[in-house]
Structure 1
């Protein structure tokens, strides 16, 4: 499990107090005012600390491409992707997902439109919810899967978790749907010119690694 990160604070004591957030909750962009709470720093994502959640990195080869959060026999997968300045990606990604899982239904959830239903997974059908949040030059895809996907208490716990996530897009040029680089805590992000894979929520393959 990831270790706790110290409370986010200004580097110099003489700096003025952080600005008050203009929204009630996130996911937050790193450049907007957001609450200074305990978070796990993974580079492109800063995740709230919750001792009940087991947080792991999902990797393809030597690239960390997402996060898996385990709680109550249910998983939350998070992937932050680069998006165009002019438009979001959620409408486009929803179309891709529905092309592969035609029985999913669209409904309104805590973050707007989401897809719900069952998907085919190892061991048979599995309940799933797909949520998408469009941010400034980034897109956050969340997939809740398992028996807790439609359990109100578990779903609410995951929603509260997502509302305090911070996305760190950075200023580097990135291709559309390119995963925003992640790293283990206290680890420098390796520079690479190799193209990172775009989003494919049904593709098998990420290696899940636990950090202690």
Structure 2
């Protein structure tokens, strides 16, 4: 579990009153005004600190491509993907997910349209909720499994968590649906990043490969 806590600081000190957020809640883009709170800095994602949540990085090989949050016999899987400037990805991603899991149904949730129902994993059915948020040049996908997938009170804990995430897209060119790279809080970004793997966030493997 990541326990390192930090308060976000501006790159340059300036005696300027921070702008108030334009929206009531996030997830936030790093370049827009957002609450200055203590968050876990994972590079492409800055996560709110909640001591009750066990936060782990999900990896493909030696690349961190997502986050797994464990709480109350439930899990929340998060992936931040690069998106086009002109349009969001959630509608397209929903179509892909429903084609693979036809038992899922669309419904209105606290973050907008979501998918909910049961999915088959290793021959057994289990409840799942898919949450999607389109941001400026990024898309955030959340998958809730376990008790929180059917218990709205527990699910609210994960929803509040997502609403306070900051996504750091960066200015570098990225392929459509490419995972925004993550790192451990103690790691410093390298001057020359190696080529990122071509990962498919909708395949089962990468989402549950955890680094403890």
TM-score class, shorter = over 0.9
Q: What runs of 5+ residues in structure 2 fail to find an aligned partner?
A: none
Q: Deviations over 1:82-130 (max 9, x none)?
A: 0000000001100100011001010000111100001112472111000
Give the RMSD, CA atoms, in angstroms. 1.5
- Does the C-alpha gap of structure 1 residues 11 and 169 become closer, same or farther in structure 2, counting only changes over 3 Å? closer
Distance 1:208 1:151 in 2: 25
What is the TM-score with the length of structure 2 in the denominator?
0.94
Secondary structure of 1:98 counterpart: helix
Report the more deviating stretch, 71-80 or 1-10: 1-10
Aligned to 1:209: 211
Correspondence list, 1:96-175, <5 A:
96-122=96-122, 124-175=124-175
Distance 1:13 1:188 in 2: 21
Aligned to 2:195: 193
For the 8 Å contact 2:6–2:41, the answer to whether it is kept is no
For the 8 Å contact 2:129–2:145, the answer to whether it is kept is yes
Aligned to 2:91: 91
Aligned to 1:60: 60
- Does the C-alpha gap of structure 1 residues 181 and 4 become closer, same or farther in structure 2, counting only changes over 3 Å? same
- Does the C-alpha gap of structure 1 residues 188 and 196 become closer, same or farther in structure 2, counting only changes over 3 Å? farther
What is the TM-score with the length of structure 1 in the denominator?
0.94
How far did residue 11 of structure 1 move?
5.1
1:79 aligns with 2:79: yes
Aligned length: 209
Distance 1:144 1:117 in 2: 11
Distance 2:165 2:54 in 1: 15
Q: What runs of 5+ residues in structure 1 fail to find an aligned partner?
A: none
Distance 1:204 1:6 in 2: 31
Q: Deviations over 1:47-85 (max 9, x none)?
A: 000011000000000110100000101000000000000
- Does the C-alpha gap of structure 1 residues 146 and 123 become closer, same or farther in structure 2, counting only changes over 3 Å? farther
Secondary structure of 2:4 counterpart: coil
